[in-house]
Amino acid sequence: MGWVETTGGYAVTLDGTRVRCRNAAGRALKQVPAKLRDDAEVVRLRQLAEWLERHEHECRSQVDAWLVRSLPVPVGLLARVWPDEAWQGALRDLVVAPVGADGRAEADRAGFLRDADPERGLGIVDLDGDSVRLDCEQVLIPHPVLLEDLDDLREFATELGVEQGLEQLFREVWQRPETAGGTALEWGAYADAKFEELRHATARAVSYGYRVRGGYAICPLTEDGRALEAAYWIGDDYPEAEAYTGGLEWRVDGGRRLPIGEVGPVAWSEGLRMAASVYAGRVVKNEDEEGEL
């Protein structure tokens, strides 16, 4: 945006989400002078910057929900939001696949999203490196655990110079081991992690965007049209109490625990992603390692 004149011959502008200032001689200053911090124009720009940051976060959160929950997205909606830089930053270069009449994603027509236009539809770079247009009403933003030949896709993305604003291709994924199945109701690989204080585990879960409820870190999910949640026990004592993590479980139908053998690939991967993120902040027992991760 342009420069806005303010008191004392100074001018201010917004550079991304940072307020910048120049003096009457036109020289850019390293920071806004203290005497201008309560100036009406400076306050207005700071409020705008805060709104832009919230808006960018909301856009990323929504696109992440589409990815994690495997929700088909109308092409018309993508075309409407595409001119917005915050939406475009979250969507550009994500792998998208058209949804066919049967409701399934057509993986052979997938590609990296480069444009969304109300008249011409979506422009992508397909997996052969050609720029094409998709003629469809909905697309799926596939979770990486569902993408075949993920390593090849990552290599191809690197060759194209793809820089995704939202983690998709380079998102960590966990495949369910063949030994994990049957009627067991929880996965214990991330149990018994010690935290000096419960609030450390809680803060770590919240910092990654997870909810904390009833002693569990919670990750809401949708798979094959069914709503469920992954829940990882982190403790329900007072915040300053020592805490140990427990098992990871998946729940459906208002709290019924789902047997591990029935957990789908996206729910499995995202549940373990949550547990691993919290677990990494534990107190390390081995004295040869750092005291805390």
Q: What is the pLDDT of residues 33-64, one digit of tens each?
A: 888 988 888 999 999 999 999 999 999 999 99
Q: Specify whether 96 is located in the same domain as 142.
A: yes
Residue owning tokens 């502008």:
13
Q: Specify whether 94 is located in the same domain as 139.
A: yes
pLDDT score at 292 = 47
Residue owning tokens 């991760």:
293
Q: Specify whether 54 is located in the same domain as 85.
A: no
Q: Specify whether 42 is located in the same domain as 85.
A: no
Domain contains 175: no
pLDDT score at 289 = 47
Q: Specify whether 201 is located in the same domain as 274.
A: yes
> Phi/psi at 289 (nearest 5 deg)?
-95, 170
Q: Specify whether 140 is located in the same domain as 202.
A: no
pLDDT score at 291 = 44
Domain contains 141: yes
pLDDT at 290 over 50: no
pLDDT at 293 over 80: no
Beta bridge partners of 229: 220, 251
Classify residue 129 by its DSSP letter: S
Domain contains 242: yes
Q: In whole angstroms, give the CA distance from residue 156 to residue 85.
A: 25
Q: Specify whether 198 is located in the same domain as 272.
A: yes
Confidence category of residue 286, pLDDT binned at 50, 70, 90: low
Q: Specify whether 87 is located in the same domain as 156.
A: yes
Most confident of 22-36, 77-91, 102-116: 77-91
Angle between helices 265-279 and 198-207 (to 10 degrees): 130
Task: Print the domain residue range for 83.
Answer: 70-160
Length of the chain: 293
Q: Specify whether 206 is located in the same domain as 149.
A: no
Domain contains 186: no
Residue 53 DSSP SS3: helix
Q: Specify whether 51 is located in the same domain as 84.
A: no
pLDDT at 98 over 60: yes
Which helix (H) or strand (E) element contains residue 277?
Answer: helix 265-279
Domain contains 171: no
Q: Name the domain boundary from 15, 40, 59.
A: 59
pLDDT at 287 over 70: no
Q: Specify whether 201 is located in the same domain as 270.
A: yes
Residue 228 DSSP SS3: strand
pLDDT score at 107 = 83
**Total tally of structural domains belonging to the chain:** 3
Domain contains 189: no
Query: Which string of b and e fits 229-248 if b means at least 16 CB within 10 Å?
Result: bbbbbbbeeeeeeebebbbb
The encoded tokens of residue 219 equal 């990750």
Is residue 219 within 8 Å of residue 229, measured between CB atoms? yes
Q: In whole angstroms, give the CA distance from residue 177 to residue 50.
A: 44
Q: Specify whether 94 is located in the same domain as 129.
A: yes
Classify residue 262 by its DSSP letter: G
pLDDT score at 266 = 94
Contacts of 39 (CB under 8 A, 6+ apart): 6, 7, 12
